[in-house]
Structure 1
């Protein structure tokens, strides 16, 4: 009996022998259809709307910095703040022809979306943190009338792009802050979930409001725009006073970092000790955060020059004065 088992291990089963014989004859190695679909139909495009209000972006940065200060290797899980957006639909576009067709469909949707929104501008509120199975940390959108409008726009897009989009159950618009899927190759530092204790202080944070001005067809694979946002194939404007796309300036960056410094100070009670209330501390905090942001960018070109511009602009924001106003304290004599 034992020799039979050994023989099977050595020579394999009959089915395995047949496979080997086919390979020797030069017959193609067939792949299961399901495996082929999974490999080739990965999402490479999405329809989204950008969130670039420095108040919202700065507070997202504050959450990321707070989490990283406790577990530094979670820096790899942080989503770049310059890509902050809400995804409305996800799809796989095979070639340029499919991209062109999707762009046309989006442009044709403009009239329907405008009618649905009654040609008015609208803004959504961002407040509180949530998670998907502790794998993704995100900022929630407040579920008011404007939230419902955004959901209805997403449903319309899902319908118009039928055949392109992946159907999504229980659609929940959100702003992703961290996701563990970005840490696939981190080796020993890989963790299974984001502990809620890491962001407990920020769980009920009010992030701010964002005016929804445009909806774009965005590429996950093409080189990002100069300001770090996704490459846009096509876009439509929403409302009367909006444009089809938006860019993020150095001033926006600096304002976001200023907000981050203020939020960090308030939420972590750094300023309970009045001896810390001075411009030097605020400037150091801003510089540390800026350095962290720049270290996570894909291009190192011009980094020193960019950092100097950030420093100059951040000082013009009078970070320490704004912190003092927020927490109603007087600066110490220095």
Structure 2
């Protein structure tokens, strides 16, 4: 019988290495799946979870450095388990031009690879996430509703009766795992960021666990590989840029901010595909010479009307 030479690797060791690599890949995919819908789902995700793309340097590290690294990992784990957002503030996308453009994009991708049909976001679910939070019971949901209502006058004061127009053009991805339509840079993004920061502060002042320690980068998701995890086993691990090449500079249209919803990530979606909505605020705009009544809702969502 032939024995492996000194320093050789037997078949069991090869299987263990392969298994560890597979577990590592699945962990990264699951982490991305949980965060893709969050307002801060950016390239910072890997850094926060101890994942790195940089090659490891083959040199001995001191035991002290290893101990510090181990302590940091231990500190991260309880926080990740303890805080899992289950509600979010949503800006719904209702402009038919934008929806039509995204559907055309999705169909173009599917025509090139029919397997990706299951990765597409339903048109009724298109939205921009403004803030994520954790609401564990009815009392906390009520606090969330109160915080949302307090946000309304600030937004209207910030906009001073003017419309906040969000312009969408081009395609981007988060690590080639999530495909989204880009929000064109400009003053409207600055205003949206200010609204997000105030929302974060308002909800936290109510004692609600909200937001994350990442910069706000709004996006309009149209596909996620994590919606069809079986694709990884079939070799589809990234979104091929060639699939959306024709839409790289496509102008999808404009959405006027007129409503913000407090939505659940866990409750059953509505029949139109939109998320279960606890409450909404309508952002009023004023035209010269015209008056407008301020309107808000509590314990029901106008998107259900």
Name structure 1 gaps, 5 residues minimum. Answer: 1-31, 250-334
Name structure 2 gaps, 5 residues minimum. Answer: 1-73, 286-291
Structure number having the greater helix percentage: 1
Q: How many residues align?
A: 218
How far apart, in 1, do the equivalents of 2:226 and 2:189 lie? Answer: 27
Which residue does 2:181 correspond to in 1? 139
Which residue does 1:154 correspond to in 2? 196
Judged with a 3 Å threshold, the aligned counterparts in structure 2 of structure 1 residues 93 and 33 are, in CA distance, closer, same or farther, namely farther
Judged with a 3 Å threshold, the aligned counterparts in structure 2 of structure 1 residues 36 and 94 are, in CA distance, closer, same or farther, namely farther
TM-score where L is the length of structure 1: 0.60
Residues 124 and 273 of structure 2 are in contact (CA less than 8 Å); yes or no, is this contact kept in structure 1?
Answer: yes
Residues 213 and 243 of structure 1 are in contact (CA less than 8 Å); yes or no, is this contact kept in structure 2?
Answer: no
How far apart, in 2, do the equivalents of 1:236 and 1:149 lie? Answer: 17
Which one of 118, 132, 138 corresponds to residue 76 of structure 1?
A: 118
How far apart, in 2, do the equivalents of 1:248 and 1:148 lie? Answer: 30
CA deviations 1:49-92 (Å, max 9, x no partner) are: 10111110111111111111111111121111111100011112
How far apart, in 2, do the equivalents of 1:140 and 1:53 lie? Answer: 15
List aligned pairs for 1:275-314, cutoff 5 A: none
The Cα of 1:226 is off from its aligned counterpart by 2.5
TM-score where L is the length of structure 2: 0.66
Which residue does 2:131 correspond to in 1? 89
Verify: 1:181 aligned to 2:226, yes or no.
yes
Residues 119 and 223 of structure 2 are in contact (CA less than 8 Å); yes or no, is this contact kept in structure 1?
Answer: yes
Which residue does 1:198 correspond to in 2? 243
How far apart, in 1, do the equivalents of 2:146 and 2:304 lie? Answer: 26
The Cα of 1:177 is off from its aligned counterpart by 0.8
List aligned pairs for 1:105-144, cutoff 5 A: 105-144=147-186
- How well do the aligned residues superpose, as a CA RMSD in angstroms? 2.3
Verify: 1:238 aligned to 2:280, yes or no.
no
Bigger radius of gyration among the two: 1
The Cα of 1:96 is off from its aligned counterpart by 1.5
Residues 48 and 215 of structure 1 are in contact (CA less than 8 Å); yes or no, is this contact kept in structure 2?
Answer: yes
The Cα of 1:234 is off from its aligned counterpart by 1.2
